[in-house]
A and B are shown apart, each in its own frame.
Chain A
Amino acid sequence: MKRLAPYLLILPGGLWLAIFLVVPMVFMASVSTQEGDVVNGFVQTFNFSMYGDALVQYQTQFLRSAGYGLVATIISVALAYPMAYWIAFKGGDRKSTYLLLVLLPFFVSFVLRTVSWKFLLADNGMLLAPLKSAGLLPEDFHVLQTTVAVIGGLVYNYLPFMILPIYVALERVDPRVIEAAQDLYASRREAFTKVVLPLSLPGVFAGVLMTFVPMTADYVNAGILGGPENTMIGNIIQTEYLVNNDYPTAAALSFTLMAAMLIGIFAYAKALGTENVLEAAAR
């Protein structure tokens, strides 16, 4: 019984993943190499040309999504790090209150938050109308349906996923190591760059993992806040699946996206010098 215990612990979660992750993935992999249409039926032909065709046809959207994901991730780090740092080291007794405030937007539905941006940023809405009537902005200036709106929406929606892991990493930094660094004649800046920052990098890595991946695959922000030039790969997959019922193309696109992101993440881990990606993320 004792020897079985570890296996029993992993059983529920393992079964869950096997049934709801692995099995659908295998099915989707199979679908991605089928040919046909809904009316005449799909036939398993192991035709991999779908991958090449889809990649060529939608390379613009792939590159655009990666670009948006990258820019939004960088902005998220820039916003999240100082905030996490402040909460971890200067938050005092109110740390948990500040964390709650960071999480508060999550209590509102994702789509509702994004839609509320539409009202806030409307051409004659509460933000732009006063600036326009004051002559600070040209009459035809608009934010909605621009790249700025889409990236802004992505950052807004995923920022807490960046703050939390960085906070957890910083929170674990023992203030005494900073003192030790200063005792050894490190300036405040050196103490940060040589001690605190390296110790918090696994948190940054986890934050990047938790924001870059969903941001790149996101379709809600581009759909609601974007315009004709902002279509992301998530929107294409959604259309292929639900409007065209072209399941093989949608599946092939999903797998290509997944592969591209896995490669990107591992390259990033390597560049960061993290020996074990998953371990770093879990820390």
Chain B
Amino acid sequence: MHYRTNPAFLRGMTQSRSVTRRDALRLAGLSAAGLALSACGVQGQKAEAPKKDAVAEYWASKKKNGTLRFANWPLYIDKDGKKYPSLEMFTADTGIQVTYQEAIQDNGSFFGKVQPLLAANNDIGYDLMVMTNGLHLGKAIALGYLVPLDHSKLPNFAANAAPKVKNPTWDPNNTYTLPWTVGLTGIAYNPKYVDEVKSIQDLWNPKYKGKVGMMADAQEIANFGMFSLGIDPDKSTEADWKKAGAKLQEQRDAGLVRKYYENDYVDALARGDVWITMAWSGDIFQQVAEGKDLKFVVPEEGGTIWTDNMCIPKTAQNPVDALTLMDYVYQPKIATMLVEYINYITPVPATKDLVLADAAKASGDDKAALEQIANSPMIYPSESDMAKLRSYKALTPAEEKVFEDIFQPITQG
């Protein structure tokens, strides 16, 4: 019985504190980045393409050390009181002790904090970290900050990972990253105020003036702007971005948007400050599991699929141990423990039957909760939903500047 009740409650409890920590991190990152940056004057050497034998070369001299320092996001692993059952099992099976830290509050501030250290080839204090595919992970790869993975040591990933998560566009052949969890960006709404939502155009519906939530992240809103115009972000051009920007500006100018939210949109939706909002699947699943009457849909024009990825920083002290864990969590048994707690999409589809098997053994509330997980389209999305999902557009540094200049003035006008 792995279900540890109510991560949603915990998430709610820690919400305000996590804002504090995030802000503290931002400030810390700010000064550290500034100092290191200027100390070097010129820095940020672009990585050369990995050589053919880079993998073998890197791993040849590396040995298992029996310790692992793992940086992850808050409430992103199964937890029982102060213990992490899946990590304890890992230690029992492999002899590797794990120091697990909820060190990452958002990609920008985390990257800002470790980037100067990685640029100076210093240990960042972690051997394994989790980053979302997007601008910052793209930079980490481009700058050569990540260790190329030795796939001969990743048999569970090869055997059990969903074909959908293998070989993503932002990291061909999973050279540097393996997915930790997958999530969707869609639309969440409160059926008390909002009629059934199918189309993304409902975010532009004047009926919901001032009650629409959009996300502050440039890539998130860019995708939704493009979906609303029928543009596939992967194939989009600068002209498409401008059109999407105009569409989003129109929404803002009409007074429809209450606020461009970070992760505080969940509170706003739960409190009724917004009625319809861009939302992440796992957040809404947890609100619903908590008893809130909210709905989540992938709009028919399209939704965004994103992945939080495990990766090894180039200055890791225990890379072999990190690689061992990356493969370990791809065992269906372990992945089941994780999905039952995290409530985001697992990269291991075989877990669905195991969750149902756990549900059959459980009773009462636990049983209902587990069945809810196994049957939720937010955790095991349908084929038709999957077909509508697109990634963020992968951007070169030059494109990134253009992209940000189009979309950030909308969220920060």
What is the bound-complex CA distance between A111 and B38, given in angstroms?
30
Q: List which A230-282 residues lie within 8 A (CB) of chain B.
A: 231, 235-236, 238-239, 241-247, 251
Q: List which B228-286 residues lie within 8 A (CB) of chain A.
A: 252, 257-260, 264, 267, 271-273
A28 CB-CB contact with B under 8 Å: yes
Is the beta-carbon distance between B139 and A39 smaller than 8 angstroms? yes
Contact of B259 among A26, A42, A145, A220 (CB under 8 A): A145
The tally of residues in B whose CB lies under 8 Å from a CB in A reads 50
What is the bound-complex CA distance between A224 and B23, given in angstroms?
12
Query: With A41-B42, A123-B272, A231-B412 in contact, is A245–B20 under 8 Å at CB?
Result: no
Is the beta-carbon distance between B26 and A140 smaller than 8 angstroms? no
A283 to chain B, nearest CB (A): 32
B65 CB-CB contact with A under 8 Å: no
Is the beta-carbon distance between A244 and B404 smaller than 8 angstroms? yes
B39 CB-CB contact with A under 8 Å: yes
B271 to A, closest residue via Cβ: A122
Q: List which A26-66 residues lie within 8 A (CB) of chain B.
A: 26-28, 30-31, 36-44, 60-61
Q: A109: which B residues are within 8 A, CB to CB?
A: 20
Q: B267: which A residues are within 8 A, CB to CB?
A: 118
Contact of A247 among B34, B42, B210, B401 (CB under 8 A): B34
Q: B273: which A residues are within 8 A, CB to CB?
A: 122-123, 142, 144-145
Is the beta-carbon distance between A228 and B38 smaller than 8 angstroms? no
Total cross-chain contacts (CB, 8 A): 127
Q: A224: which B residues are within 8 A, CB to CB?
A: 19, 264
Is the beta-carbon distance between B401 and A43 smaller than 8 angstroms? no
Q: Chain A interface: which size bin?
A: 35 or more
Query: How does the 8 Å CB contact mask read for B20-53 relative to A, with 1 for contact and 0 for none?
Result: 1001001001110111011101111110000000
B16 CB-CB contact with A under 8 Å: yes
A157 CB-CB contact with B under 8 Å: no
Most B CB contacts (10 A, CB to CB) among A26, A235, A238, A251 go to A238
Q: B272: which A residues are within 8 A, CB to CB?
A: 122-124
Give me 24 A-to-B residue pairs in the complex whose CB atoms sit less than 8 angstroms apart, sorted by A's number.
Answer: A26-B38, A27-B35, A31-B37, A41-B45, A44-B41, A60-B413, A112-B16, A118-B267, A119-B271, A122-B271, A122-B272, A123-B273, A125-B271, A142-B273, A144-B273, A220-B23, A224-B19, A226-B259, A231-B412, A231-B413, A241-B30, A242-B29, A242-B112, A247-B34
